[in-house]
Chains A and B, each alone.
Chain A
């Protein structure tokens, strides 16, 4: 059961990472095949486990400000900035549709 081009395209949108070539797609197919082995296990009545520390109370501290004021340090690692802002290209512009994008999937 192969993954459809629609799903592959959807994944590229969600992950913002591309399959690049046939090998990339094949890699996903193999990964799914591998994961399918999970269905051999009977998990009736078994609760999913989020954390091995589920029996303990998570540590919560008081809602007091204990650190901060490090704008300068945090901005140092950004490539594009203006005053105290990180600068991003315009948003609200969706990625081009499959037919218009330069992606390996176009050929599929």
Chain B
């Protein structure tokens, strides 16, 4: 079976009919992980347990009793989700060697349905960053750096320059998960999304990245960054697969009181043919400074696509958009200051040898365990939370948050169903260029188009749209109404079908599975 088949339509069927065995799928993914090691997408590969899970799945298929579509499907999980018996590091020295005693709810749900957990993926330390370059295990490389499409377009500046120095970032912070899905080493991956951390790398790696509505999927076991904005994110190769994952993860969790209690019914996406009843909003403020002319053109083309198909396409305004990144900066650092307080070396994680006093031990542990980015945010957060600053900064930011959320309410109330925006300002930057600016500057730049959805708690999805002139993926973002994932994904699926985003042409994958290139799609949208 082709590694790129849709879960519901192809892979599940292949497994049920015995055309491919779960152990075979698992072994191929593990082999591919090894041969794409240079991507640095994985921090931990749980080879033994994965093979065991695959064997158990195979036994269930043999008895004709698979647990569901996800039975036997290899998946990867971002390394800020707790996984029982498997190291969870958050790409930080603070948690190196930390073996979780429990599974995050989303991980447990996947395992309960027979999914095969291949390993934990790389990220920016504690999910702080937009490049997946600031973790202790090193940066993640975008698989597209090694694609035929990118290599054809890149002109080496000198004879000595080779692909080693040319590679581009994945975006972040869920870069490892995005790279894993993009390079076919797993069928789906979990990420997290606080300011765009699932959608941003999805756009740069040419995969589907879904940020669900806040409160739909349990955060229990997801090591928190910003409790009021964090959500688990879903990364897949097509929108249908995202719907499958969503179906298996969404729903109230008694262990996470911020999950809503409404009944969630998993759904299959209809094949939308008539978009004439749809109203698409184009928020003018998303024409942000720094938006590349390429992406602007694609965005415009996408709007025309909807128009020509009969949908109502209107320009709308979200006036407080440009303050969302500032607002995020204050609220995020404040919540981080609180959340990172738990890392003191006493109960788990790194502990300093300093013994003079409790406080000095805490201080030394945190000095040794956190990188500059994390420490910087903790200090900033504490500043904004000082008594003399609390009203001026923290409460002020909370008020601005309401204004941002209200902007969306007004627009959706005016009859708009879905918003269409770019996901990123440009295609993926080369690593050497990206690291010229510091983490905070980069995050402020890169989160600008994705952050507001987290502020308002709305569902949003990146759909890979076309290749840039450099041969790299560019995606567009759809933002929907709260808890209206079905409508959001239905529209996203329609759009995905129209654009026919090309498959990545990777040498490593070619060697392993000649089937992969059986169905080559040409870029019809760029």
Q: Which listed residue, B252, B261, B323, B351, touches A38 by the CB 8 Å rule?
A: B323
Q: CB-CB < 8 A to A3: which residues of B? A: 383
Proximity bits, A53-93, B CB within 8 Å = 1, else 0:
10010111100000000100110111110000010111101
Q: Which residue of A lies closest to B367 (CB)?
A: A18
Known interface pairs A24-B376, A52-B215; A43-B362 also in contact (CB < 8 Å): no
B residues 322-370 touching A (CB-CB < 8 Å): 323, 326-327, 329-330, 333, 337, 344-349, 351, 354-363, 366-367, 370
Which chain A positions have C-beta within 8 A of B320?
41
Residue in chain A with minimal CB distance to B403: A46
A32 touches B101 (CB 8 A): no
Known: A35-B329, A38-B393. A43 touches B399 (CB 8 A): yes
Chain A residues near B400 (CB-CB < 8 A)? 38, 41, 43
B399 engages A18 (CB within 8 Å): no
Contact pattern, A 29-45, Cβ under 8 Å of B = 1, otherwise 0:
01110110111110100
Majority secondary structure, B binding face: helix
CB–CB A35/B330 < 8 A: yes
Question: Nearest Cβ in chain A — how far from B45, in angstroms?
Answer: 22
B517 at the A interface (CB under 8 A): no
Q: What's the Cα separation between A43 and B4 when bound, in Å?
A: 50
Q: Which A residues lie within 8 Å of B401 (CB)? A: 48-49
B398 contact set on A, CB distance < 8 A: 48-50
Say yes or no: A90-B357 contact (C-beta < 8 A), given A31-B376, A38-B400, A49-B401: yes
User: Residue of B at shortest CB range from A72?
Assistant: B101
Is the pair B361, A88 in contact by a Cβ cutoff of 8 Å?
yes
Contact B346 A86 (CB under 8 A): yes
- Nearest to A61 among chain B residues (CB) is B254
- A70 surroundings in chain B (CB, below 8 A): 101
Interface size of A in residues (CB-CB distance below 8 Å): 56
- Smallest CB separation, A48 vs chain B (Å): 3
Question: What residue in chain A is nearest B350 (Cβ atoms)?
Answer: A79
B83 → chain A, closest Cβ, in Å?
14
Residues of B in contact with A, size category: 35 or more
Q: Which residue on B lies nearest to A47, using beta carbons?
A: B402
- How would residues 86 to 108 of chain A score, 1 for a CB under 8 Å from any chain B CB and 0 otherwise? 10111101110000000000000
Q: How far is the CB of A105 from chain B (nearest CB, A)?
A: 12
**Cβ of A14 < 8 Å from any Cβ of B?**
yes
What B residues does A78 contact at CB under 8 A? 346-348
Nearest A residue to B320 via CB reads A41
Given contact pairs A11-B379, A41-B320, A95 touches B258 in the complex (Cβ within 8 A): no
**Cβ–Cβ contact B440 & A31, under 8 A:** yes
Taking CB atoms, residues of chain B closer than 8 Å to A10 are 386
Closest Cβ–Cβ distance, residue A92 to chain B (whole Å): 8
* A51 on interface, CB distance cutoff 8 Å: yes
Is A22 among interface residues, defined by CB-CB distance under 8 A?
Answer: no
A28 touches B363 (CB 8 A): no
Q: What's the nearest-Cβ distance from chain A to residue B445, in Å?
A: 12
Contacts of B392 in A (CB 8 A): 39
- Contact at B257–A77, with CB atoms within 8 Å? no
Contact call B329/A34, Cβ cutoff below 8 A: yes
Query: Which 6 pairs, one residue from A and one from B, show the smallest C-beta to C-beta distance?
Result: A52-B457, A48-B398, A93-B357, A77-B348, A43-B399, A49-B402
Contact surface of A with B, Cβ cutoff 8 Å = 3, 7, 10-12, 14-20, 23-24, 27-28, 30-32, 34-35, 37-41, 43, 46-53, 56, 58-61, 70, 73-74, 76-80, 86, 88-91, 93-95
Known: A7-B386, A78-B347. 11 other contacts (CB 8 A): A16-B363, A17-B367, A28-B376, A34-B444, A35-B326, A38-B330, A58-B258, A59-B252, A79-B345, A95-B360, A95-B363
- What are some 12 contacts across the A-B interface (CB < 8 A)? A7-B386, A11-B386, A20-B375, A27-B438, A31-B376, A52-B405, A53-B258, A77-B99, A91-B357, A93-B358, A93-B360, A95-B359
